[in-house]
Structure 1
Amino acid sequence: MLKVYNTLTGEKEKFETIEAGKVKMYVCGLTVQNYSHIGHIRSAINYDVIRRFLEYLGYEVDYISNFTDINEKIVKRAVEEELTPEELADKYANAFLEDIREFNIKPADKYLRVSENVDEIIEMVTTLIEKDYAYEVNGNVYFSVESFEDYGKLSGRSLDEMQAGARIAVNEEKRNPLDFGLWKKVEAGEGWDSPWGEGWPGWHIECSAMSMKRLGATFDIHGGGVDLIFPHHENEIAQSEAYSGKKFVNYWLHNGTVNLSGEKMSKSQGNFFTSREVLKEFSGQEVRYFLLSRHYRSPIDFSYEKLEEAKISLERIKNTRHQLDKVLNFDIAAAAEENNEFFEEVILKKNSFVDALSDDFNTAEAIGVLHDLVGVINSYINQKDFTLNEKNFAILEETEEIFLELAEILGLKFELEAASEVKNTLADPLISLLLDLREKARENKNWEEADLIRDRLQEIGIDVIDTPHGTEWEINNIEENKGGS
């Protein structure tokens, strides 16, 4: 049974959808004014795993996100880069889509843009004014928080508490300092025509109008960073439920921050690494593994040192995947009894993995189980008396399928094709000949010659691995060693 922590109730709840077999999911996206940073990527990876797991459970997921492609920051940045706001937004939206491919993040089914949904936003603001939830002053439109009885239910604060602790600049137009903008007046020629004059949509109204247009007045999951709980998501609830008269979202999910030296990574603070900077030092898979090593609701401290540790840990899983593939290519011996005890342990690990993700998408625990599975596989295939026969071949094939299936839920990929392409060349028999010479040297206890062959192969990118089943080799730094000089 899948249980999900709902920020709205503060409890883990049994997950049930509005429409059987289907999940409607909206995740707040980027303001496309610059390259994405690792905080953005963590959010995208977390919700990607949630989506993948829901699909694994058999749900059809309609996954929607957005690009905020017009606001003051975009206009300012466009001037700096000598682009139009539209060109700047396209540049960084496309850059984000390129970046997520590096992290094996599945793109949303649809990325909604504010500039393409202004009519829907104007209609929503008009309705809120007609229903006395909003008011217009000098071309600006504000939502009256006092008009919505449940304001504060997501963040768990009363209106009185928020007013007492508010540090909001005085705005003579507002009836209450906490009232928030639905429509902002701008200079002629800079915005869209509306019943209140030329202007731009407020930030909060964008997500409400776009998500309801695609997913309906009520949908299953709304996700975003914990920093969006107040005021963004709080305001979304107020304006959406005031507009439709219906519950807006059933499950509110919020991922934790990425911190640098204990401080939240943020463009406004200037303490951030762009995803492109990090990808120069580490692969997308290594970063993904690192970010999934903590529960999605917990903060995570980012550093290159921690990424190095994650890289080593991920390498252990990769090695097992390669070893398993090699074992399955051994010659098959005569028939023998299958090892039911081993496969029962594999199934237990698979069930534990699913149980971990069923408990509020606990990727940290799931990764731990994946390492346990790796240990079980290694113990079995590295037995000195291990031989491949028809019975255990079938078991290991199914084990490989389970291993890759669980890795796929986490978005981890272990490619074999590149190494195979290189090995299926003249290099294969030549390296095999050198390894035969090395083996004879070892038999004759000529350790110096054996070590020399191993070391020279390593210099050209060939790792020699001595296993209980004999000596094996694999290519490292494939791209660097393909051509030579």
Structure 2
Amino acid sequence: MIQIFNTLSRTKEPFVPLHEGQVNMYVCGPTVYNYIHIGNARSVVAFDTIRRYFEYKGFTVNYVSNFTDVDDKMINEAAREGITVPELGDRFINAYFEDTKPLNVERATVNPRATDNIDDIIAFVADLVAKGYAYESAGDVYYRARKFEHYTQLVHESLDDLETGASDRVDDGDNAKKEDPIDFALWKAAKPNEISWSSPWGMGRPGWHIECSVMSTKYLGDTFDIHGGGQDLIFPHHTNEIAQSEAHTGKQFARYWMHNGFVTVGDENQKMSKSLGNFITLHQMNEQEDPQAVRFFMATTQYRRPIQYTSGNLADAKNNLKRLKNTYDNLSYRLSDAKEGHDAPVEQLAHEQQVVFETAMDDDFNAQNGIAAIYELAKVINVYLTREKVQAATLIQLKTLYATLLRVFGIEFEEESLADEEIQGLIDERLQARANKDFTRSDEIRDQLKARGIILEDTPQGTRWRKDTDD
């Protein structure tokens, strides 16, 4: 059974879905005023990997991830560029999909936009006002945080400490409108020339927290299985989501809360963020590196642990991925001379590594131990491939299992295409040169092919080739 570390209880809990065989899952998406950086991408990859493992285990996953497409950052950036907020949102939503596609991120079941749900947001806020959980002040609407009895349940801090933090994050003008510094905005009155919508409290726009409450319950129901996001969202965002959602519905909001660790940079392991200016966008990374290696780098660390981004760590991931790819290619190559039949002891060794893999991933999606099991499976495969005779049915079973487990991490290898006549002709000529002990010509052909990006590998079963993936 899958065990999940629930931020709400601070313990690992058995995962029991509300509906058998189905996972309803909401993950906070980006504010689309710029390209996402690789710190943002870490959350995308982490929860995509978690989703993929649920699917591997046979669950149907309803996966909802939103776009915040109206807030102060978007308004300011749109004004700076002289375009509308919707135009800015369209551009960076498209960029989000373009940048995450090379990482083999599955599309969400639904990607709702805040601006497409304004009527639902207004109705939600009006209900909180009617129930006494919210109040209007100079066109803004605020939530009475102290009225919700379990306000601190997710953050596990005292209300007094949270109040001190809240006071540091707002200016005196905002505090002057509030009954209490800990209160937070559900609806914000529009400033001159800002994008806005008509509401019972005047022209305005939604606050940040209310968007996710509305969109998650709209598409997944009043109570759903998993709510995910970065650790920095525990307070205030997710804390406020719980308060406003449960006050509105009278039901538990999300049953399991999952939070991924940060991407850190530098010797001091500083969190990557736009505000600190120490970030690299995923768009830039995809242009500089193999996106599959970037995916592998981020997916193979357990989601709650931080990832230290360095060129050395990324290089290690690239080398490990390359070795896994070579094993896959070697499997395909040996199928050409395999005999009919099974090799039961080898299949049993492979199955044992599958069990190790599942045991690791069942334990709060322990990706490090999961990928270690795949490395051990690769060893089993590579040892078997050195045999003079191999069995086709066993090779097919090994290849299917190997590909299936790697797919959980979002890694899918393409089959190498067969050599064209010219390349095969050079390989044949080199073999003849070696037979004639003309090693000078043999080396010339090897160098010629290498210059064209073709690497030769001399194996006991003959010479095979592959594309050079070092660049």
Q: TM-score range by the shorter chain?
A: over 0.9
1:459 aligns with 2:451: yes
Equivalent in the alignment of 1:483? none
1:328 aligns with 2:330: no
Equivalent in the alignment of 2:181? 177
Q: Retained in 2: the 8 A contact 1:438–1:453?
A: no
Equivalent in the alignment of 1:113? 113
Q: Retained in 2: the 8 A contact 1:192–1:198?
A: yes
Amino acid at match of 2:136: E
Amino acid at match of 2:389: T
Equivalent in the alignment of 1:400? 399
Equivalent in the alignment of 1:281? 288
Aligned pairs for 1:12-23 within 5 A: 12-23=12-23
1:420 aligns with 2:417: yes
1:186, distance to aligned residue in structure 2 (A): 0.9
Separation in 2 of the partners of 1:229 and 1:165?
A: 13
* Structure 1: 5+ residue stretches without partners: 481-485
Separation in 1 of the partners of 2:301 and 2:137?
A: 47
- State the TM-score, normalized to the length of structure 2: 0.95
Aligned pairs for 1:55-204 within 5 A: 55-164=55-164, 166=166, 167-168=168-169, 169-170=171-172, 171-187=175-191, 190-204=195-209
* Structure 2: 5+ residue stretches without partners: none
Amino acid at match of 1:284: P
User: Aligned to 2:373, which of 362, 366, 369?
Assistant: 369
User: Aligned to 1:387, which of 383, 386, 389?
Assistant: 389
Equivalent in the alignment of 1:30? 30
Task: Name the SS of the counterpart of 1:320 in structure 2.
Answer: helix
Larger CA deviation: 363-372 vs 187-196: 187-196
Q: Retained in 1: the 8 A contact 2:64–2:111?
A: yes
Larger CA deviation: 142-151 vs 298-307: 298-307
Report percent identity of matched pairs. 41
Separation in 2 of the partners of 1:173 and 1:80?
A: 28
Equivalent residues, number: 464
Q: Which has the higher contact order (CA 8 A, sep 6+)?
A: 2
Residues 349-384 of structure 1 deviation map (CA, whole Å, 9 limit, x = unaligned)? 11111111111111111111111110110011113x
1:154, distance to aligned residue in structure 2 (A): 0.3
- State the TM-score, normalized to the length of structure 1: 0.92
1:468 aligns with 2:460: yes
Residues 202-231 of structure 1 deviation map (CA, whole Å, 9 limit, x = unaligned)? 100010011111111100010100000000
Quote the RMSD (CA, aligned, Å).
1.7
Q: Which runs of 4+ in 1 moved over 6 A?
A: none
Task: Name the SS of the counterpart of 2:177 in structure 1.
Answer: coil
Q: Retained in 2: the 8 A contact 1:100–1:107?
A: no
Residues 87-140 of structure 1 deviation map (CA, whole Å, 9 limit, x = unaligned)? 110000001011111100001111111111111111111111111111111111
1:304, distance to aligned residue in structure 2 (A): 2.3
Aligned pairs for 1:203-222 within 5 A: 203-222=208-227
Equivalent in the alignment of 2:360? 356
Equivalent in the alignment of 1:45? 45
1:331, distance to aligned residue in structure 2 (A): 5.5
Equivalent in the alignment of 2:410? 411
Separation in 1 of the partners of 2:199 and 2:119?
A: 9
